[in-house]
Amino acid sequence: MTPSFDFGMIGIGVMGSNLLLNMADSGFAVIGFDLKQERADALEAAAPPGTTVKGVVDIVELVQGLKKPRKIMMLVPAGKAVDSVIENLLPHLEDGDILIDGGNSFFRDTLQRINYLQDKGIHFFGMGVSGGEMGARFGPSMMPGGDAEAWQYLRPVLEAIAAKSDGVPCVAYMGNGAAGHYVKMVHNGIEYAMMQLIAEAYDLLRRGGGATNEELHGTFAAWDKGQLQSFLVEVTAEVFKTQDPETGAYLVDLIVDQAGSKGTGKWTSQVAMDLPVSIPTIDMAVAMRDLSANRDQRVKAAKLYGKKTGVIELTEEFRADLENALAFCFTIAYAQGLSQLAKASDELSMNIPLPAVIQVWKAGCIIRSALLGNFTKAFGREAKLPNLLLDADIAGILKNREASLRRILITGIGAGIPLAAFASSVSYYDAYCSDRLPVNLIQAQRDYFGAHTYQRTDKEGVFHTEWHADSQS
Ligand code: 6PG
């Protein structure tokens, strides 16, 4: 086949096909590979008139059809499938070709693949793609990282298909090595935190306050027009009005209360602890999904303890407080994720441009929200800000909402509603903004039982004390 295609895709399920069709809309000639003939046919059938879209079931045909340097994206499940596609492709690739992993791969796997392929002259890119199927078709947010030299070849096509925020594409070079997958992993950690916070707000309103699904729809739809304007709040409002066609009941009430997960939130927490950096709201979001999955035990415990939820009066003040509390905690979740990126960028020499990360998250992705505008300003004032909480304007936003959050916690925890993400957000804030924490006592205890030593406030040096009364006598 004469090389005439601009971009190739391995894996043309809905996501892969939609990305290719999006590229085709922008005038790029695209080719997709899948083992299944039906998928190759479906891709071609979906091509808008006047576009060049081809589906093949022979990987060699795909490689030979591409212009050099070849640009090939893999959209296959993270893990072994990625390695097996790489092995299948390798004999047919040439020096300078660019291979992109667009799945949610673990960043350490991506690093290994970069090193493995570098030796063979192939530029490997780990790229987070956010926004689901519709995003892929009409404008995803994309987080590519890898070889800076190869970025120039990817930039035109990725900028053409990306979501735009105020006309600026939501794709940018995220840095060296596995920076792209690292940024996407943290995006997902923040996604988990925001979803858990929304779920806790739902619990307060529904279980505590007895709000109906219609009222919940109204509340979230109204919030989506104000300070909480975001994709996740919008989606939540939509969920509350969706009825089950079979029974006519509200679908959300028929869904089993066990949260699934594919692991990206867990990775965010795991690697944060390795750094180390504190991201307790994200940690709690992971922990609460895990706890929810233990449904049998929860049902037994519910019988054993016979806990009754207190009644929460849904006054205008309570609703306004809850809106403010969510804005406070969303900001904390972003701050935690961005502080992780700042530290990881240094530790792993990724050189992640945080202002660009915020731009990329402004449209197309799951965590897009109006709050990000405040962060652009904060990073505009200090591009290397280690934590958003250190910015004076962000401090103002948090201070103005702090009292609302404390009132929500007092009422909600008093009523027996689990508020793990709300509570960990305020504790993070209280601890981060304390010039004296009680860990002097922890240092004393460590030294008492393990001779781990401590430092003193009144003089330099490292000290150990024989704390036991009898050893001192
Ligand atoms: C996105 C999402 C997506 C993620 C799913 C599933 O940005 O489009 O982050 O990539 O894989 O939301 O995540 P869990 O199954 O772990 O909830």
Q: Look up the CATH number of the domain holding residue 285.
A: 1.10.1040.10
Residue-number span of the structural domain to which 214 is assigned = 184-432
49 CA to middle of ligand 1, Å? 32
Is there a domain that residue 168 lies in?
A: yes
Residue where the block lists tokens 């916690």? 409
Check: CB of residue 77 under 8 Å from CB of residue 17. no
Binding site membership of 191 for ligand 1 (Cβ less than 6 Å) = yes
Is there a domain that residue 293 lies in?
A: yes
Q: Which of 124, 186, 129 is nearest to 161 (CA)?
A: 129
User: Does 445 lie in the same domain as 411?
Assistant: no
Whole-angstrom Cα distance, residue 162 to residue 32? 19
Render pLDDT for 91-105 as a digit per residue (tens, 0 to 9).
999 999 999 999 999
Residue nearest to atom 10 of ligand 1 (CA): 130
189 CA to middle of ligand 1, Å? 10
Q: Which long-range contacts (CB under 8 A, 24 or more apart) does 387-396 make?
A: 387/335, 387/338, 387/339, 387/342, 387/432, 388/331, 388/334, 388/335, 388/338, 388/339, 389/335, 389/429, 389/432, 389/433, 394/331, 394/335
Pocket test for ligand 1, best of 191, 282, 369 (most atoms within 8 A of CB): 191
User: Does 210 lie in the same domain as 246?
Assistant: yes
Q: What is the pLDDT tens value at each position of the chain, 473 positions in all? A: 688 999 999 999 999 999 999 999 999 999 999 999 999 999 999 999 999 999 999 999 999 999 999 999 999 999 999 999 999 999 999 999 999 999 999 999 999 999 999 999 999 999 999 999 999 999 999 999 998 989 999 999 999 999 999 999 999 999 999 999 999 999 999 999 999 999 999 999 999 999 999 999 999 999 999 999 999 999 999 999 999 999 999 999 999 999 999 999 999 999 999 999 999 999 999 999 999 999 999 999 999 999 899 999 999 999 999 999 999 999 999 999 999 999 999 999 999 999 999 999 999 999 999 999 999 999 999 988 999 999 999 999 999 999 999 999 999 999 999 999 999 999 999 999 999 999 999 999 999 999 999 999 999 999 999 998 765 54
Crossing angle of the two packed helices 107-118 and 80-89, in degrees rounded to 10:
20
Whole-angstrom Cα distance, residue 11 to residue 39? 9
Mean pLDDT score of the chain: 96
Is there a domain that residue 2 lies in?
A: no
pLDDT for 3 equals 86
Binding site membership of 130 for ligand 1 (Cβ less than 6 Å) = yes
**pTM for the whole thing?**
0.96
Whole-angstrom Cα distance, residue 165 to residue 167? 5
436 CA to middle of ligand 1, Å? 38
Q: Give the number of domains in the chain.
A: 3
Shortest-distance atom of ligand 1 to CA 367: 7
User: Does 424 lie in the same domain as 447?
Assistant: no
Is there a domain that residue 93 lies in?
A: yes
Check: CB of residue 378 under 8 Å from CB of residue 396. no
Binding site membership of 131 for ligand 1 (Cβ less than 6 Å) = yes
Whole-angstrom Cα distance, residue 203 to residue 221? 17
User: Does 443 lie in the same domain as 387?
Assistant: no
Binding site membership of 261 for ligand 1 (Cβ less than 6 Å) = yes
Residue nearest to atom 12 of ligand 1 (CA): 188
pLDDT for 473 equals 44
User: Does 129 lie in the same domain as 17?
Assistant: yes
CATH number at residue 448: 1.20.5.320
Render pLDDT for 277-317 as a digit per residue (tens, 0 to 9).
999 999 999 999 999 999 999 999 999 999 899 999 999 99
pLDDT for 471 equals 55
Binding site membership of 369 for ligand 1 (Cβ less than 6 Å) = no
72 CA to middle of ligand 1, Å? 22
User: Does 211 lie in the same domain as 106?
Assistant: no
Residue nearest to atom 3 of ligand 1 (CA): 130
Residues taking part in catalysis = 184, 191
Query: Which amino acid type is present at position 357?
Result: V
Render pLDDT for 4-32 as a digit per residue (tens, 0 to 9).
999 999 999 999 999 999 999 999 999 99
Query: Which amino acid type is present at position 49?
Result: P
Binding site membership of 163 for ligand 1 (Cβ less than 6 Å) = no
Render pLDDT for 155-195 as a digit per residue (tens, 0 to 9).
999 999 999 999 999 999 999 999 999 999 999 999 999 99
Shortest-distance atom of ligand 1 to CA 141: 7
User: Does 443 lie in the same domain as 325?
Assistant: no
Is there a domain that residue 53 lies in?
A: yes
442 Cβ contact list (under 8 Å, min separation 6): none
